[in-house]
A and B are shown apart, each in its own frame.
Chain A
Amino acid sequence: MSELIIEGLKATVGGAEILSGVNLTIRSGEVHALMGPNGSGKSTLSHVLLGRPGYEVTGGTVRLDGDDVLAMSTAERAAAGLFLAMQHPTEVPGVLLRDVLGASSALDGDDFEAAVASELTAIGLEEAFLERALNVDLSGGEKKRNETIQLAILQPKIAVLDEIDSGLDVDGLRLVSKRIERATNDDGLGVLAITHFTRLLTELKADFVHIFTGGVIVETGGPELADELEESGYARWVPVDEKPESKNPALADDPFADPLA
């Protein structure tokens, strides 16, 4: 049984506060959906949890089974059991999926080969995919399957899935969701699924839905909250005159803008 406890987490990028006091607890086997409009700080939360350079934590704590996550390096966080499936997985030219799995998986030899082969099949990828450079010349959907393969092999305790649905076609979304659901049921994986749309939640059943705007969770409920979103959008939580985008006018024009780009 694992537990990730986020308390009062605040963070800034380039001096601007993006996270304004996030409170959230994720336990083994639970699926939490974090939903919010563009620019609300959802991706920032995922990056801060894994310690991506460029963010400054200005307050709060993050503990995984009692250990201070914020004091760890990124690799230590991953080794402790945190995983991030990125919204835009980074291209790493010349470094193969085999390389990264070989350097991080506890398995080796025939066990490694067998586990990887079975995961590739489960996610609908050819065996040759193992010899491809990470995220180089991959379609959006392949990138997300690639992230899911790594999750499956690394077997983290808590996984943050940042827009895992974007780029996936219907079949891909189903396979990815099935694999994640299996991990939650069989291995007790705890999931924080960050998404903009409710599409993911038709495949991956969430136990909790959180509405995230302006750098904080403004409401928490069950799956019915996602249904309400589907009907009427974020208008109830985001007043027209104080959209979170207004914090950074440069982003307002481009809903796909990465605040760090």
Chain B
Amino acid sequence: MAFPSDQEEIWRYTPIGDLEIDSYAPSDDTSGKDSTIFDVLSTRAGLVEVRNGWVTRQELDDSLAQNGLFVGRLADHPDPEGLLGSVAGESKDYFAVLSDAFVGDAVVIDVPAGMVVESPIVVGERSRGEGAASFPRLVVRLGADSEASVVQHQSTGVGPVLAVPVTELDVGPAARLRLLNIQVMGSSATQLGTIVARAAQDATVTVGAAGLGGGYSRLRLDCRLEGRGADGNLLALYYGETGQTLDFRTLQDHAAPNTTSNLLFKGALAGDARSIYTGMIQVRPDAAGTNAYQTNRNIKLSKEAWAESVPNLEIENSDVRCSHASTVSPIDEEQLFYLESRGVPSETAERLIVAGFFRDVLEQLPVEDGYSVIEEIIAAKQDRHQLASKVSS
């Protein structure tokens, strides 16, 4: 399979041509510190720490385990057959093939039918060591009418690493799954991530992504609504700084009648950061009664920042309600004037406006306990942005 090129539509606008794939090698180094997210989310049903694709630590609430909840390595699952790739399907692109070839310990979260897991299950995916390539895999399967929340925290050590995480979400009939993905990799890291969800009849899947770190970080997020009445909520907030390219490709795939998808992605770009959003709503011929919404909004905090936003629709059934909207704009001068005319200094006014811009996404993100992590990082990014603006002016 050929290495991708930015001439292909799905890689358009990306710096994929700059990636020197030969400078990375799979690593079995599992040393280093645990993911910081475990300190924040101390109330949890279980945790798994994955380092360079290998499980280094796992915990699970005893009573949940006795009732059939499985959280651990695929190899330890009583019936592992067919779990891996059941949602992602055949490897379609170069990096998915790499992931299949170099997978270490795939992590499985398997929730039995009817079980409600109250506290989140926390997965730390840490990639570390100069030149390390890591291939974390996570499979979350929810049985009928079950409920669970998962926090996936992706971080790195210092130095360049390549992370290719693949996450599969298999949400059974009437089940409710919430996934919060927090990407806080180092500035020299490259991440090419995939999350694929499949929702059965009357299931609800909510995926919230916070794209905060990485030099070049890509997330491909596919949501297939396969059962009648399935709901998909896709949310993301991202904040790019100088040197960062944040790249999002989404698919809302309506394959059954009366399915609903809501997508809201919002980004702020400071310095010379770049962001790319391309999204597709696909309504298949028998998906009558589809409701599908897609919104991408971007704020440019500096003249050098760059954002591209391309929404798409492909509709093969006439009984649908669809909308898409996308904007790329600087901070609104009228909003700044309003706040400043109340005596709010302009730096504070800008921070309030950016925080306000993210508020609706943040409030809808799954797993409330994860907010503080995201808010702190955004505040730190705002500090750096305002300091840089001061120095340059």
Tell me whether A92 and B335 are in contact (CB under 8 A): yes
Tell me whether B357 and A86 are in contact (CB under 8 A): no
Query: B333: which of A53, A99, A103 is its contact (CB, 8 Å)?
Result: A53
A contacts with B: majority SS = mixed
Tell me whether A104 and B342 are in contact (CB under 8 A): yes
Which bucket holds chain A's interface residue count? Answer: 20 to 34
Q: Which of A126-140 contact B (CB under 8 A)?
A: 133-134
Minimum CB distance partner of B356 in chain A = A94
Tell me whether A78 and B337 are in contact (CB under 8 A): no
Docked CA distance A96–B344 (Å)? 13
Tell me whether A78 and B352 are in contact (CB under 8 A): no
Question: Please, what's the 1-or-0 string for B325-363, where 1 marks a CB less than 8 Å from any CB in chain A?
Answer: 000000001110111111111101100110111111000
**Given the complex, which residues of A lie within 8 Å of B357, measured CB to CB?**
93-94
Tell me whether A93 and B356 are in contact (CB under 8 A): yes
Shortest beta-carbon distance, B156 to chain A, in Å? 31
Tell me whether A75 and B338 are in contact (CB under 8 A): no
Tell me whether B356 and A103 are in contact (CB under 8 A): no
A73 interface residue (CB < 8 Å to B): yes
Docked CA distance A94–B355 (Å)? 7
Minimum CB distance partner of B359 in chain A = A94
Q: A94-B359, A103-B352 are in contact. Are A78 and B338 (CB under 8 A)?
A: no
Tell me whether A103 and B348 are in contact (CB under 8 A): yes
A232 interface residue (CB < 8 Å to B): no
A223 interface residue (CB < 8 Å to B): no
Query: B345: which of A53, A75, A134 is its contact (CB, 8 Å)?
Result: A75
Minimum CB distance partner of A82 in chain B = B341
Minimum CB distance partner of A105 in chain B = B343
Tell me whether B353 and A92 are in contact (CB under 8 A): yes
Tell me whether B356 and A78 are in contact (CB under 8 A): no
**Given the complex, which residues of A lie within 8 Å of B341, measured CB to CB?**
50, 52, 74-75, 77-78, 83-84, 86
Docked CA distance A89–B341 (Å)? 11
Q: A92-B335, A103-B348 are in contact. Are A74 and B355 (CB under 8 A)?
A: no
Pair count A-B, CB < 8 A: 82
Query: A92: which of B345, B348, B356, B360 is its contact (CB, 8 Å)?
Result: B356
Tell me whether A86 and B342 are in contact (CB under 8 A): no
Tell me whether B343 and A78 are in contact (CB under 8 A): yes
Docked CA distance A215–B346 (Å)? 30
Question: Please, what's the 1-or-0 string for B287-311, where 1 marks a CB less than 8 Å from any CB in chain A?
Answer: 0000000000000000000000000
Query: B339: which of A52, A77, A100, A154 is its contact (CB, 8 Å)?
Result: A100
Docked CA distance A78–B337 (Å)? 11
Tell me whether A90 and B356 are in contact (CB under 8 A): no
Shortest beta-carbon distance, A140 to chain B, in Å? 16
**Given the complex, which residues of B lie within 8 Å of A73, measured CB to CB?**
340, 346
Tell me whether B344 and A52 are in contact (CB under 8 A): no
**Given the complex, which residues of B lie within 8 Å of A134, measured CB to CB?**
338
Query: A89: which of B333, B338, B340, B346 is its contact (CB, 8 Å)?
Result: B338
Docked CA distance A75–B352 (Å)? 14
Q: A90-B334, A90-B335, A103-B348 are in contact. Are A78 and B340 (CB under 8 A)?
A: yes
Q: Which of A56-107 contact B (CB under 8 A)?
A: 73-75, 77-79, 83-84, 86, 89-96, 99-100, 103-104
Q: A95-B356, A99-B356, A100-B352 are in contact. Are A90 and B338 (CB under 8 A)?
A: yes
Tell me whether B360 and A94 are in contact (CB under 8 A): yes
A184 interface residue (CB < 8 Å to B): no
Q: A92-B353, A92-B356, A94-B360 are in contact. Are A103 and B337 (CB under 8 A)?
A: no
**Given the complex, which residues of B lie within 8 Å of A91, measured CB to CB?**
335
**Given the complex, which residues of A lie within 8 Å of B349, measured CB to CB?**
75, 103
Q: Which of B37-75 contact A (CB under 8 A)?
A: none
**Given the complex, which residues of B lie within 8 Å of A150, measured CB to CB?**
342
Minimum CB distance partner of A89 in chain B = B338
Minimum CB distance partner of A95 in chain B = B356
Query: B343: which of A93, A99, A104 is its contact (CB, 8 Å)?
Result: A104
Docked CA distance A235–B356 (Å)? 47
**Given the complex, which residues of B lie within 8 Å of A96, measured CB to CB?**
356
Docked CA distance A96–B342 (Å)? 13
Shortest beta-carbon distance, B393 to chain A, in Å? 14
Docked CA distance A75–B358 (Å)? 24
Docked CA distance A139–B83 (Å)? 54
Shortest beta-carbon distance, B375 to chain A, in Å? 13
Tell me whether A75 and B346 are in contact (CB under 8 A): yes
Shortest beta-carbon distance, A48 to chain B, in Å? 12
**Given the complex, which residues of B lie within 8 Å of A99, measured CB to CB?**
352, 355-356
Shortest beta-carbon distance, A80 to chain B, in Å? 9
Minimum CB distance partner of A133 in chain B = B356
Docked CA distance A104–B344 (Å)? 5
Docked CA distance A77–B342 (Å)? 9
Tell me whether B356 and A75 are in contact (CB under 8 A): no
Tell me whether B337 and A79 are in contact (CB under 8 A): no
Shortest beta-carbon distance, A137 to chain B, in Å? 12
Q: A94-B360, A95-B356 are in contact. Are A100 and B342 (CB under 8 A)?
A: yes
**Given the complex, which residues of A lie within 8 Å of B344, measured CB to CB?**
75, 78, 100, 103-104
Minimum CB distance partner of B361 in chain A = A94
Query: A95: which of B334, B339, B340 is its contact (CB, 8 Å)?
Result: B339
Tell me whether B334 and A154 are in contact (CB under 8 A): no
A-B contact pairs, 21 of them (CB 8 A): A53-B333, A53-B337, A73-B340, A73-B346, A78-B343, A83-B341, A86-B341, A92-B335, A92-B353, A93-B359, A94-B356, A94-B358, A94-B359, A95-B335, A95-B353, A95-B355, A99-B355, A103-B339, A104-B342, A104-B343, A154-B343
- Partner-A contacts on B (CB < 8 A): 333-335, 337-346, 348-349, 352-353, 355-360
4 nearest CB pairs, A to B: A94-B356, A94-B359, A78-B343, A95-B356
Given contacts A78-B342, A92-B353, 11 further A-B contacts (CB under 8 A): A53-B333, A73-B346, A83-B342, A90-B338, A93-B356, A93-B360, A94-B359, A94-B360, A100-B342, A103-B339, A103-B348
